[in-house]
Amino acid sequence: MAALDDLPPLREVIAAHGLAARRSLGQNFLLDLNLTRRIARAAGSLHDHTIIEIGPGPGGLTRALLLEGAAHVVAIERDERCLPALEQISAAAPGRLTIIPGDALAVDMAALVSGPARIAANLPYNVATPLLVRWLETEPWPPFFASMTLMFQREVAERIAAPSGGKAFGRLAVLSQWRTEPEILFDIAPRAFVPAPKVTSSVVHFTPRAQPLPCDTQALERVTQAAFGQRRKMLRSSLQSLKLDTAALLDAAGIDPTERAERLDIADFCRLARLLP
């Protein structure tokens, strides 16, 4: 049985298992172990956590997480072609890798872990945002994970971390920053992937806030959907889709009705959400 260090290079693994990348599964593989180890280290302490990884593919980040000392990795992969390659890694790290075949969107991740956990993934771009929203909407909060370290297309990373007042500030920024402190750590150039995507990627680290401002998730969603659904309009117009007395709502929240959504901050949105019936 090979040790982790002795596993064949990922290029060979991909060739041996016929893992031609499929666009429909958002497959862009990272083959450089120095890079995947850098992402693994960015996740924080690993030896005392279970790491949930979405989309391990041929296992570049999975290997890195194990080599960097992760106590246990639970990896959810939809593409059955990748499973034999992942089994090889599991054999090289006995008892430290659990492979879960299937769609990550259909898995109850909280039920997979009993102790401290982190999430780390090079996410498939086609399900990256739905997965992130699901994690951010986890109940109860603080969630079952101590952090999330996730790779996105840079444009999505910028929307997550956008400050109030800018063009990128929208629903994703409000939800992300309400419940976590997101930080863009570093970029990864297209050439690092096989096949190379068209755009640059960014690694974002999310630290859950212990005590986010009190606010109901669904109410916050309703408010941000209305406000940013017509982001160029003044709030007195855009919020009319809530079918409430908009003037009274804005007055009660102490918000100028002629403001636009992107000029509000997280506390403003939470105040509005708390005032919804």
Instruction: Using CB under 6 A, list all residues that contact ligand SAM.
Output: 25-30, 54-57, 60-61, 76-79, 82, 103-105, 122, 124, 127
Looking at this protein, which amino acid is placed at residue 248? Answer: A
Shorter beta-carbon distance to ligand SAM: residue 118 or 271: 118
The answer to whether the CB of 202 falls within 8 A of the CB of 186 is yes
Smallest distance, Å, CB 20 to ligand SAM?
Answer: 12
Shorter beta-carbon distance to ligand SAM: residue 153 or 176: 153
**How far is 1 from 5, CA to CA, in rounded Å?**
11
Picking from 267, 275, 262, 168, the residue whose alpha carbon sits closest to that of residue 222 is 275
Smallest distance, Å, CB 166 to ligand SAM?
Answer: 27
Smallest distance, Å, CB 167 to ligand SAM?
Answer: 27
Give the residue at shortest CB distance from ligand SAM.
Answer: 55
Shorter beta-carbon distance to ligand SAM: residue 104 or 223: 104
- DSSP H helical ranges for the chain: 10-16, 33-42, 60-67, 83-92, 128-136, 154-161, 171-179, 217-229, 235-238, 246-253, 266-275
Shorter beta-carbon distance to ligand SAM: residue 124 or 170: 124
Shorter beta-carbon distance to ligand SAM: residue 110 or 234: 110
Shorter beta-carbon distance to ligand SAM: residue 131 or 239: 131
Shorter beta-carbon distance to ligand SAM: residue 60 or 208: 60
Number of other CB atoms surrounding residue 29 within 10 Å:
23
**How far is 168 from 262, CA to CA, in rounded Å?**
9
Residues 6+ apart with CB under 8 A from 111: none
Smallest distance, Å, CB 93 to ligand SAM?
Answer: 16
Shorter beta-carbon distance to ligand SAM: residue 76 or 220: 76
Smallest distance, Å, CB 11 to ligand SAM?
Answer: 12
**How far is 87 from 153, CA to CA, in rounded Å?**
29
Smallest distance, Å, CB 247 to ligand SAM?
Answer: 44
**How far is 182 from 162, CA to CA, in rounded Å?**
10
User: Residue 151: phi, psi to the nearest 5?
Assistant: -100, 130
Smallest distance, Å, CB 273 to ligand SAM?
Answer: 30
Smallest distance, Å, CB 54 to ligand SAM?
Answer: 5
Sheet with 50-54, side-by-side order of all strands: 97-101, 72-77, 50-54, 117-122, 148-153, 201-208, 180-188
